[in-house]
């Protein structure tokens, strides 16, 4: 009777407005410390979740502090797979926590309904969990209660198993500042017995290894349908301490020995014997799953995929398969249409090419009307390729999976093309699985599959394996696969092997024919070498041969025009590429966003970059990096959001993203005034600048000057091609050149009373090799401040030259320039400019 009365009692919070803008609509959950409600923003209509501390507990300050500790801890875990905490506070007797609203099921509920998972599905889920936990560990936070109930699986964009890790409220915070002084008892058991580590069960202080053990228990349960130990809580805790878990293969014999070994290693009693990081566990399990998949019998080949892919093409915002090598540096450009990084190219100056008037006009592409993928065609692989090239990834993937299910059409080609589609979408694990199946069906004799495998290996950081795959593709095609030559040439360029790169690309250019696909690869190689005018010419030819319908060529053409300074025209070309890909090409969106930013169209730049990230399911670190550059522009001024995206980009790359690290350091130094944070980042970089300049940065930045002057600090970006010009207009009343510091490596300061509006740069920052002191003396002797000042820095493969008003002042050899101290221009009134140029 009492319970019925309680249930009938109206909830006092329903209809109440929290934080002045969120109206509570419904109660959606109940926990040990509080209730969870669904609320809606009064203006935008955005739905959020509100966790409210139980009324009885809110009367105790210790419980309130424990409750708010959840917000402080979770706020440090900014990751796509960790729940986002938006706000917290107290209004009268209501203590609340605002967080993102998750529409999904717990891992417990899904396992109870569906039973044990396939190893491939378990790997996808584990990788996402580990990515969030690794970010927490990097912030000094140990979860302590990882379990299936604290893991939500969502359906996003029609795809299942997008992970969110919940409940950092009982996390152990190793950093006292993050903890906010909250005492955490060392002798109180915190956690859930079935998923607790032996050291937790012994009331010892938890460590990173404790979370690894819990992840091992979760993995064991995903594969078997049950945790290793069940029963009375005290008995379960004793078993964790004293007993070995039942052999996994005794419960599920089809699981491979390699998979079982990884799980049992995570469940070792000795913390030192377990994987030493969440990423290490995820990588070991992925390798074991791939090794098991590599021995599949031919009888499984008729299935549409061996990685248990979703029913639609993956586009969810999740961490894709992580690189398996710790040496991974950056992602390879997307298949067919990759946005190239012009590392190692020479002569990369801004130039103008009037490509529209240098030859016959491009044909006007006809309108493309989306149509369903045909189900019965004579050659489904060729039809799927056509759909893919027209931007219909979904239709192409569906047609290929149906063809493979019938088992009667060119399995090798179908697997390879399906792998290429997954690779284009950033689904590296599924792509690799399909391509390995293609090679298995072809007996290892399929040049295109070796090319695609090489791209994946390169993305994973295995440069040796990638080089071998590219060479195999060239050998099997007798040198006719021009795309393999382009890929091998770019690999050599990035490794600084310029002569080998030139040889490979020269031979490929000589063999290339008039096929449009060959012309695209020719354009790619010319672009790599900085030959923009020639690249534009060949790409225009490819487009004409395809009657104006050729998205890969339009993408590369847009990239070439961007690099050559034809930004407005590049935006038009990239818009055409996007239209031909039906608006669903993340690379086109990314490059278009970059072009919009250079055109100072900030809102459209932000929109394009956000959509690019969305189309790649959140796993697009390069686009996040460019988005951060726009957000950190003083014209936009959203510095905290820029920091969030830079941190996300670094998390996606596991901190192997030097440009993002550099940008984050400069954001801290020049925008947020967090000089010590900037110093720490530069100290950990492989080649870091001299740090003595930070001692005077506070004065140079004029931190005591009015804020409106500080907001006009010139952004640090300089063009990636290592050639730029900066025009300053000196004051007629003050023309004094001030040297901020002297030494073997110098930084310069130029004080001006006022300056004209400076045009913004919009590309990534790189480091500057500063001139020697004798160069500074020559600069002081020759500098003419009676007219506008132009600083020009020109770099080629051998030299770095610094000139003022066209007169060369300093020239140093790259090989002899051992210092990479920054060049700091301090402008009176709090304005400062920090350049970094790195080879």
**What is the C-alpha separation between 229 and 243, in angstroms, rounded?**
9
Q: How many Cβ atoms are within 10 Å of 486's Cβ, its own excluded?
A: 28
List the one residue out of 711, 639, 634, 636 whose CA is nearest residue 677.
Answer: 639
Cβ atoms 281, 266 nearer than 8 A: yes
Q: Two tokens at 491?
A: 């690999």
Please report, for residues 622, 644, 686, the alpha-carbon distance to residue 650 in angstroms, rounded to integers and kept in the order given. 10, 10, 15
Residue-wise over 779-816: b if at least 16 C-beta within 10 A, else e? beeeeebeeebebbbbbeeeebbbbbeeeebbebeeee
Check 145, 211, 424, 820 and give the catalytic one.
145
Orientation angle between helical segments 107-114 and 208-224, nearest 10 degrees:
20
For 734, residues 6+ apart whose C-beta sits below 8 A from its C-beta are 751, 752, 753
The whole-angstrom separation of Cα 690 and Cα 692 is 6
Residue 297: burial class (beta carbons within 10 Å; 0-12, 13-18, 19+)? exposed
First to last CA, the chain: 77
Strands 749-750 and 737-738: antiparallel
Give every CB contact of residue 374 below 8 A, 6+ residues apart in sequence. Answer: 383, 399
CB neighbour class for 244 (10 Å; exposed up to 12, middle 13-18, buried from 19): exposed
| Distance, CA of 633 to CA of 602 (rounded, Å) | 9
Point out which residues pair with 38 in neighbouring strands: 26, 49
Cα 380 to Cα 409: distance, rounded to the nearest angstrom: 8
- Cα separation of 214 and 172, whole Å? 15
| CB-based burial, 340-370: b 16+ in 10 Å, e otherwise | bbbebbeebbeeebebeeeeeebeebeeeee
Q: Is 61 helix (H, G, I), strand (E, B) or coil?
A: helix
Q: What is the Cβ-side half-sphere exposure of residue 592, based on CA atoms within 13 angstroms? A: 27
Other CB atoms within a 10 A radius of the CB of residue 665 amount to 28
Catalytic residue at 145? yes
Q: How many of the other CB atoms lie within 10 Å of CB of 675?
A: 18
The residues annotated with a catalytic role in the active site are: 145
């Amino acid at each position: 009777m009492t319970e019925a009365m309680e249930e009938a009692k109206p909830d006092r919070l329903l209809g109440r407005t929290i934080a002045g803008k969120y109206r509570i609509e419904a109660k959606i959950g109940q926990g040990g410390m509080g209730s969870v409600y669904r609320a809606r923003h009064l203006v935008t209509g955005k739905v959020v979740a509100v966790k409210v501390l139980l009324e009885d507990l809110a009367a105790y300050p210790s419980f309130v502090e424990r409750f708010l500790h959840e917000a402080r801890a979770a706020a440090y875990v900014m990751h796509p797979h960790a729940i986002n905490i938006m706000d917290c506070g107290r209004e009268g007797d209501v203590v609340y926590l605002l967080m993102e609203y998750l529409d999904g099921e717990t891992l417990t509920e899904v396992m109870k309904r569906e039973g044990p998972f396939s190893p491939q599905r378990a790997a996808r889920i584990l990788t996402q969990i580990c990515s969030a936990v690794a970010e927490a560990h990097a912030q000094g936070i140990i979860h302590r209660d990882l379990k299936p109930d604290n893991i939500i699986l969502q359906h996003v964009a029609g795809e299942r198993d997008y992970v969110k890790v919940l409940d950092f409220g009982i996390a152990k915070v190793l950093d006292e500042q993050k903890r906010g002084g909250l005492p955490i008892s060392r002798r109180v058991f915190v956690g859930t017995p079935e998923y607790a580590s032996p050291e937790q069960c012994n009331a010892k202080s938890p460590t990173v290894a404790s979370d690894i053990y819990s992840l091992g228990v979760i993995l064991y349960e995903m594969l078997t349908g049950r945790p290793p130990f069940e029963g009375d809580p005290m008995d379960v805790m004793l078993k964790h301490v004293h007993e070995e878990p039942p052999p996994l293969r005794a419960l599920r014999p089809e699981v491979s020995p390699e998979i079982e070994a990884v799980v049992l290693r995570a469940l070792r009693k000795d913390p030192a014997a377990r994987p030493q990081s969440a990423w290490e566990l995820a990588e070991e399990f992925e390798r074991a799953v791939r090794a098991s998949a590599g021995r599949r019998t031919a009888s499984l080949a008729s299935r549409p995929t061996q990685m248990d892919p979703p029913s639609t093409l993956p586009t969810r915002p999740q961490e894709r398969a992580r690189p398996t090598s710790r040496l991974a540096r950056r992602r390879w450009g997307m298949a067919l249409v990759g946005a190239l990084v012009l590392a190692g190219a020479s002569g990369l100056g801004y130039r103008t090419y009037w490509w529209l008037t240098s030859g016959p006009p491009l044909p006007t592409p006809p309108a493309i009307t989306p149509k369903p993928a045909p189900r019965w065609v004579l050659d489904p692989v060729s039809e799927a390729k056509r759909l893919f090239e027209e931007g219909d990834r979904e239709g192409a993937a569906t047609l290929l999976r149906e063809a493979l299910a019938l088992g009667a059409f060119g399995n090798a080609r179908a697997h390879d093309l399906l792998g290429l589609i997954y690779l284009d979408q950033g689904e590296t694990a599924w792509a690799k699985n399909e391509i390995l199946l293609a090679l298995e069906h072809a007996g290892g004799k399929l040049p295109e599959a070796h090319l695609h495998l090489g791209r994946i290996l390169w993305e994973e950081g295995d440069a040796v394996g990638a080089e071998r795959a590219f060479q195999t593709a060239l050998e099997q095609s007798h040198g006719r696969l021009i795309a393999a030559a382009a890929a091998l040439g770019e690999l050599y360029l990035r490794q600084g092997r310029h002569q080998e790169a030139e040889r490979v690309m020269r031979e490929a250019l000589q063999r290339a024919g008039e096929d449009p696909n060959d012309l695209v690869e020719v354009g790619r190689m010319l672009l790599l070498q900085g030959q923009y005018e020639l690249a534009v010419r060949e790409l225009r030819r490819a487009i004409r041969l395809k009657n104006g319908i050729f998205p890969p060529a339009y993408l590369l053409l847009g990239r070439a025009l961007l690099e050559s300074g034809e930004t407005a025209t590049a935006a038009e070309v990239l818009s055409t590429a996007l239209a031909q890909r039906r608006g669903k090409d993340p690379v086109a969106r990314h490059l278009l966003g970059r072009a919009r930013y250079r055109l100072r169209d900030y809102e459209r730049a932000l929109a394009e970059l956000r959509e690019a990230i969305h189309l790649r399911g959140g796993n697009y670190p390069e686009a996040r990096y460019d988005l951060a550059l726009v957000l950190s522009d003083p014209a936009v001024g959203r510095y905290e959001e820029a920091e969030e995206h830079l941190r996300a980009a670094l998390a996606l790359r596991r901190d192997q993203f030097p440009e993002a690290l550099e940008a984050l350091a400069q954001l801290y130094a020049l925008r947020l005034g967090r000089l010590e944070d900037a110093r720490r980042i530069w100290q950990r970089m492989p080649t870091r600048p001299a740090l003595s300049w930070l001692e005077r940065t506070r004065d140079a930045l004029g931190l005591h000057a009015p804020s409106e002057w500080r907001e006009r600090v010139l952004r640090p970006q300089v063009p990636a091609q290592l050639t730029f010009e900066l025009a300053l207009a000196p004051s007629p009343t003050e023309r004094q050149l001030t040297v901020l510091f002297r030494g073997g490596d110098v930084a310069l300061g130029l004080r001006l009373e006022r300056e004209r509006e400076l045009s913004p740069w919009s590309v990534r920052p790189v480091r500057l090799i500063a001139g020697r002191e004798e160069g500074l003396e020559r600069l002081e002797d020759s500098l003419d401040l009676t007219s506008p000042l132009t600083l020009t820095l020109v770099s080629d493969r051998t030299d770095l030259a610094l000139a003022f008003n066209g007169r060369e002042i300093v020239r140093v050899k790259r090989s002899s320039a051992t210092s990479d101290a920054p060049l700091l221009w301090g402008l009176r009134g709090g304005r400062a400019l920090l350049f970094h140029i790195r080879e």
